[in-house]
Structure 1
Amino acid sequence: MLLLIPGGPGNSGLYRPATLGARLPQEVKDRYDLIGFDPRGVGQSTPLDCKLEPRDLDPNGFMAWPGPGGDISENINKARRVAKACNENGGELIRHLTTRNEARDIDQIRRALGERQISYWGVSYGTYAGAVYATMFPGRTDRVVLDSSDDPDPQRVAYGWVKNFAVGAEDRFPDFAAWAAERDATYGLGATPAAVRATFLAHADSPSLPPNALRAGMFSAIYNNSTFPLLAEYMRAARAGDPLPTIPVPPPDQYKNTYAVLTAVGCNDVSWPKSVDHYARAVAQNRVAFPLTGGMPANITACAFWPTQPIEQPTRVTPAGPSNILMIQTMRDPATPHFAGVRMREAFGHRVRLVSVNTGGHGAYLVNGNACGDATVTKFLVDGTRPATDIAC
């Protein structure tokens, strides 16, 4: 059995055996029954609904982008509204949405399927859920793949992950800038990567564009090389004053559930700063240090107004347990930067081997990886063989 742990928090995983499973090599599919699930509060697992106001359900506002000049007043208002709505409308369920409870639920799946041990492939936030499971139930793990991990520091967890977006965007944007510079004749964004970056920054706060539209589109687009053309066309249109292309967003019903669970788990797992002034200062500093993301990674969210944090003490990942974990990480990941994955590797110590893939994007195995990285993970899943040491592909 290979359990597919989705990211998020808040992403559905019920149909991942059909979606991710279609990409798996046949030798992996021959070895395992693939199992998908919707985590607690998601999709068909008693979905959480905070009954948010329509103005707070705009997918383009998924991230807490500051206003002009770094103003966070509207972010403060939204954060208060979202925290109030979730805690008034989330019922008893909302107090039980945590990563530790997801790990307990995973163990119930193992038990229900009659398995003594469980193998799993966790992606993005799913790596943290998988790491927590491997820490809480080390003897019940078989082959564990953690794909695109973040820093498991128990003092920061979700708060630290959001702040890491700033580093991730700076790591990854040069890939897009080089790609666009090679196509300057098509898009006219600049003949060098530096010129493309300058074009982006010159238009990112343009009053002729919807607020933060270019920054939000950029951060979404750099997850995968396949969306580089959409970002380039958006920047070209913005520069020329042409109609802007449509950037796909999730349907409202899916978004409101994902956003509610993302908020609840992130706020329940760890304590966040409560001072509004703290966020105002942090955004001002972050805008200078990381201009691509304009202060978003340091901005205030509903967690600043969450009533009880944390629900229980966060898990400290340690080397205690069997050496049966393989991590894979791209070198230039916008969401879970490589340095943060190294922190996860350090926390696990002898239990882990890390495969660092010299490419960019979010997700490594069979997504933004390469033949070397893919083959290493496949071999581990099929026969349990890992590299003797950490490797670079």
Structure 2
Amino acid sequence: MKRRIAAAALCLFAGAAAFAQPTGTRADNEGPTSAAALQPTLCHGSGWADALRCYAIPVTGLQAGQATELTVLVAPALSEAQREPLYLLAGGPGQASSDLVKLLNPLRKINRERDLVFVDRRGAGRSQVFDCGLSDSPPADIERFVELLADCYQANPERPLALNSRQTVEDLEQVRTALGHEKISLWGGSWGTRTALLYQQWYPQSLQSLVLDGVAPIDSKVFLTAQAAEAALVELQQACSADPVCRGFGDWRSALDLILANWDKASAVSFPDPFTGLPSEEPVESWMLANAVRTALYDPSVAAQLPFAIDQAAKGNLLPLSGIVGLFARLEGSMAMGLTFSVACAEELSRMQRDEILADAAGTFLGEAFVQPFVRGCAQWPVPSREYPVSEPRSHPVLLISGSADPITPPIYAEQTLDHLENRQHLIVQGGGHINSARGCIPDLMEEFLNSGGQTLDQACVADIQRPPFMAGMFGPSLKEELRQELRQEIQPQNNPESEVAASTEEAQP
């Protein structure tokens, strides 16, 4: 259980498919590996029932001896239309794009007329994952984690040099050429938005359009996330205050501060396992608990449970808060830690100063709980700093998507740091967390944007996307009175004593 919390704490972010040749227009120069020479096999991805095409595509490195094979999954277009494919780029850094296959469910309409392509970058997923044995069960003790990370680096000192954003973009371009796609569109989520923006800078001639969800601009320092997480929690607090049920929990925000400030050894060892209710096998430290709250803010349906869970924790009942932590148990293994640190240390931590970290942490519930494992880890992962180029103006159509309550890539990133994108429009989901492409009408707007060549969208439907109802008690949210009456009329036979008992019990619910 403890190791599952530790894994979540280190995470940044995250139709019937025919077996046929790739659709879309083909490049005249197919490169060293042509589309005709590739022999795909049938494969499957988690969260999608239909078969996909699976390729092993050889790519060369920027340095000698860095050649490898990348695993690429393709969901073929259902029609014979010749629209450019959409490549989906994962976040992290360290998440595998093959983990995004579940997005095919909300993006079915887009998949009707274009291939959807998932490229596992070097060191992630099915492309020779570089996880240092830490992804499935990272130790909660930071000292031990750093020690194991150092051992991994010393055993593989050359491999981190091949894992960086420049190489990822070069690999992506080789995959595009190998599959014979003349131009492609890119969807990026979280750190994947930065990869997409760098691809736009280096290979503008290969790109049709961009959809960026949870935008991490090239110049931003997204690992400084404490202020963004605090703002997301404040927005949750404001929404709670406007809700007649949730405001009954009082000042749960201050209660959270007290819980974290007073978290001691006894609290750490008594925190219950969400699957058994028994004390956790090993201590759950306060930095892990703070990160669990941060991670809960990624998903509005989980964030809606926080006020109740924190109120209960303040009263001595840690089970609801433990249950929220348990919702993220499946995050373990989602980040390849060797890849994560190779990119993060060279491209993020190397640009951050101590005074910036302190300023970001000041006055927040998170403090340095998120960034500290990376600061400590990067001291044992000595990769050279890699600076990004100054962004040049680009005219590709770009659709930006943000959640107003995103705890790591807030809308201000898309609003204030992307002036070099000359043809952009921005969708902001009020109350939305991190990654909103599957919510409400967003998939339809994405399809319209891609199919229209980036014409201005009517965003009115975005306002219809609402926060989920707040958790009212152990049995979930409170039903609105009109819905209660409607349900009563549907399920209560006349003169049924059992139904009368059920009705009286329902009235007693908060």
TM-score normalized by the length of structure 2: 0.62
1:380 matched to 2:459? no
The equivalent residue for 1:105 is 171
Q: Radius of gyration: which is bigger?
A: 2
Structure 1 residues 186 and 271: alpha-carbon distance in aligned structure 2, compared to 1, 3 A threshold: closer
Structure 1 residues 211 and 290: alpha-carbon distance in aligned structure 2, compared to 1, 3 A threshold: same
1:149 matched to 2:215? yes
- Equivalence map 1:161-310=2 (5 Å): 161-163=222-224, 165-181=225-241, 189-190=249-250, 195-207=251-263, 208-209=267-268, 210-212=284-286, 213-244=288-319, 245-246=322-323, 247-248=325-326, 249-250=328-329, 254=333, 258-269=336-347, 272=350, 279=354, 285-287=359-361, 289-296=362-369, 299=372, 300-310=375-385
The equivalent residue for 2:397 is 324
Structure 1 residues 189 and 201: alpha-carbon distance in aligned structure 2, compared to 1, 3 A threshold: farther
The equivalent residue for 1:6 is 90
| Consecutive unaligned residues in structure 2, runs of 5 or more | 1-84, 269-283, 464-510
Aligned residues: 353
Q: Residue deviations 1:171-225, cap 9 Å, x none?
A: 21133324544678679631xxxx2321221212233354224422210111111
* CA displacement at 1:306 relative to structure 2: 3.4
Q: Residue deviations 1:319-340, cap 9 Å, x none?
A: 1x44322222223311111222
Query: Comparing both structures, which one devotes a greater share of its residues to helix?
Result: 1
Query: Of the candidates 105, 128, 137, which is equivalent to residue 22 of structure 1?
Result: 105
Q: Secondary structure at the match of 2:217?
A: coil
The equivalent residue for 1:67 is none
Residues 95 and 268, structure 1, Cα contact 8 Å, conserved in 2: no
Distance across 1 between alignment mates of 2:457 and 2:242: 39
Structure 1 residues 127 and 114: alpha-carbon distance in aligned structure 2, compared to 1, 3 A threshold: same
**What one-letter code is carried by the residue in structure 2 that aligns with 1:21?**
L
Distance across 2 between alignment mates of 1:184 and 1:390: 29
Distance across 2 between alignment mates of 1:351 and 1:135: 15
- Equivalence map 1:64-75=2 (5 Å): none
* CA displacement at 1:88 relative to structure 2: 1.0
Distance across 1 between alignment mates of 2:366 and 2:336: 22
The equivalent residue for 2:438 is 366
TM-score normalized by the length of structure 1: 0.78
Structure 1 residues 30 and 134: alpha-carbon distance in aligned structure 2, compared to 1, 3 A threshold: same
Structure 1 residues 94 and 250: alpha-carbon distance in aligned structure 2, compared to 1, 3 A threshold: farther
Residues 135 and 337, structure 2, Cα contact 8 Å, conserved in 1: no
Identify the structure with bigger relative contact order (alpha carbons < 8 Å, sequence gap 6+): 1
Structure 1 residues 343 and 306: alpha-carbon distance in aligned structure 2, compared to 1, 3 A threshold: farther
Structure 1 residues 285 and 142: alpha-carbon distance in aligned structure 2, compared to 1, 3 A threshold: closer
Distance across 1 between alignment mates of 2:428 and 2:135: 42
**What one-letter code is carried by the residue in structure 1 that aligns with 2:88?**
L
The equivalent residue for 2:414 is 341
RMSD of the alignment, in Å?
3.2
Structure 1 residues 110 and 177: alpha-carbon distance in aligned structure 2, compared to 1, 3 A threshold: same
